[in-house]
Structure 1
Amino acid sequence: MLKLASALIAGWMTMGGWAVVTVQDLPEYFVVGQPYTLEFKVRQHGRTLMNNVQPQLVVATAAHNNNATTLLATRSGDGTYRVTFTAPPTNRVYLTIISGWGASDLSLYPLPVVAAGTLPAPLSPIDRGQMLFVAKGCNACHENSDLADRPANQSIVVGPALGGRHLPREYTIQKMKNPNSEKMPDLGLSDTEAAAIAAFLSGDRATATGGR
């Protein structure tokens, strides 16, 4: 039975049944009533940019909200799509990107929404890294038991599990910035993004710094 299940999964993957969504620049919070443009890439098997899909963005004010707004994204580049939405009047907004390719959708961690002129409590590097680990699509290929309240996203697990490994911070940054791999793509992470994800994967509570 196990061999049959493995064969079915392998066949499904070979036929192109999965993709990975990667959000380009994820804000830490939104201001109510302000428009925001979310840009993301869709990669078949995590690598090949896809231009033949019609992604959508679902904007909700609760985890299970029947009154959510669904918006169609438009292609802005090779395998790249963008969609603009207005931050709703709520404490937190739940965003899900429907990839348009099988069940390969991406639900983000809920993000705070604040009134104009106010700021939310700052995120620690580890919390920001956890948020980016999901938003960049890392969890699609790498299981991670350290993710707290992980959004229910599809997980293919073609790479090593990363939970509880406390990977060396500098090694992790180098690997993400220069993957040099046939499986792992170069996501074009900024120094700040890579440092935050490395803080999460290493358990390093030092401040993530850097910029692009």
Structure 2
Amino acid sequence: MKRISLGILTTALIACTLAFATMGGWAVVTVMKIPDAWVAGKPLQLTWQVRQHGVTHVDGLHPVLEARAGERRVTGKTWAFAEDGQKGYRGSITFPERGEWQVTIHSGFGRSRAVLLPWRVVDSVRAVRGTVEGHLREIGVRSLPESERGRRMFAATGCVTCHVHRDVGIAGELSDFGPDLTERTFPPDYLARYLANPSIKPPTNGKQMPSLALREKDIAPLVAFINAERRVTRR
């Protein structure tokens, strides 16, 4: 009986492995919007999508949302949504104290995840009225420069899945799939159009960057970061 059970288990594990390999085994996790900073004790809601190979939305996942600061770890709640023709996942997490908190979204699709650059979380010196962003301005927390916001979005939008950039320092599952962008810069207008619609450039060696449905307000910081203090090179 033990041999039969072990054989069945082994067969099932092999079948699951083959099924996962057939699915492609990796996905791009794209976080839609990230704040410059946050306030301890206030829930932060994040929205993201999980696309197999950066293309096909993956349903039915059970993501895990966590944040770490030193030895401290907290988790949040996650759920799927579908509204206004859009679908994806959302999560809510609360940072219990000030510090540099790093958020990770484990997508539930294999090892695919989004590791965000650490956030500055501050104590509130008075009750928050209105938006957290407005409150941060009132208490003197400055907005990030455009290029720094782009550096953070390079991780959040999933660029690190296929690209390396030394100034980001986060390696994705397939970080050598696309070119290393550390020393690359591009004409700003072209780069903005390409990020909005990668199909304007023919595939290179059979590889085509997927469209991540980036908003114009997301693209401008990415262009500023990728082109920061470098000369334009050939594309």
| TM tier, smaller | 0.7 to 0.9
Contact 1:57 1:73 in 2 (8 A): yes
The change in CA–CA distance for 1:172 and 1:13 in structure 2 (over 3 A counts) is farther
The change in CA–CA distance for 1:179 and 1:49 in structure 2 (over 3 A counts) is same
The Cα shift of 1:143 comes to 2.1
The Cα shift of 1:41 comes to 0.5
Aligned to 2:225: 200
Q: Aligned with 1:68: secondary structure?
A: strand
Matched, 1:167 2:192: no
Aligned to 2:79: 74
Please say which structure displays the higher CA radius of gyration.
2
Higher helix share: 2
Contact 1:61 1:90 in 2 (8 A): no
Letter in 2 for 1:58: E
The Cα shift of 1:121 comes to 3.5
CA distance in 2 between partners of 1:72 and 1:111 (Å): 19
Contact 2:163 2:180 in 1 (8 A): yes
The change in CA–CA distance for 1:56 and 1:119 in structure 2 (over 3 A counts) is farther
Q: Aligned with 1:166: secondary structure?
A: coil
Q: Relative to structure 2, which stretch is displaced further, 155-164 or 189-198?
A: 155-164
The change in CA–CA distance for 1:42 and 1:119 in structure 2 (over 3 A counts) is farther
- TM-score relative to the length of structure 2: 0.72
Aligned to 1:136: 157
Aligned match of 1:98 in 80, 103, 106? 106
Aligned match of 2:141 in 100, 103, 120? 120
Structure 1: gaps spanning 5 or more residues: 1-11, 206-212
Letter in 1 for 2:213: G
CA distance in 2 between partners of 1:41 and 1:197 (Å): 19
CA distance in 2 between partners of 1:16 and 1:135 (Å): 22
CA distance in 2 between partners of 1:68 and 1:123 (Å): 25
The change in CA–CA distance for 1:152 and 1:119 in structure 2 (over 3 A counts) is farther
- 1:26-45 paired onto structure 2 within 5 Å: 26-45=34-53
Aligned to 1:176: 195
The change in CA–CA distance for 1:42 and 1:93 in structure 2 (over 3 A counts) is same
Aligned to 1:155: 174
Contact 1:47 1:184 in 2 (8 A): no
The Cα shift of 1:37 comes to 0.8
- What does the per-residue CA deviation read over 1:154-201, in whole Å, with 9 as the maximum and x for residues that have no partner? 334333332201222111111011222784333232222211100111
Aligned residue pair count: 190
Contact 2:74 2:95 in 1 (8 A): no
Contact 2:198 2:209 in 1 (8 A): yes
The Cα shift of 1:79 comes to 5.1
The Cα shift of 1:95 comes to 0.3
CA distance in 1 between partners of 2:37 and 2:90 (Å): 18
Q: Aligned with 1:73: secondary structure?
A: strand
Letter in 1 for 2:139: T
The Cα shift of 1:91 comes to 1.9
- TM-score relative to the length of structure 1: 0.79
Structure 2: gaps spanning 5 or more residues: 1-19, 125-137, 231-235
The Cα shift of 1:14 comes to 5.3
CA distance in 1 between partners of 2:188 and 2:54 (Å): 23
The Cα shift of 1:112 comes to 0.7
Question: Identity across aligned pairs (percent)?
Answer: 34
Aligned to 1:208: none
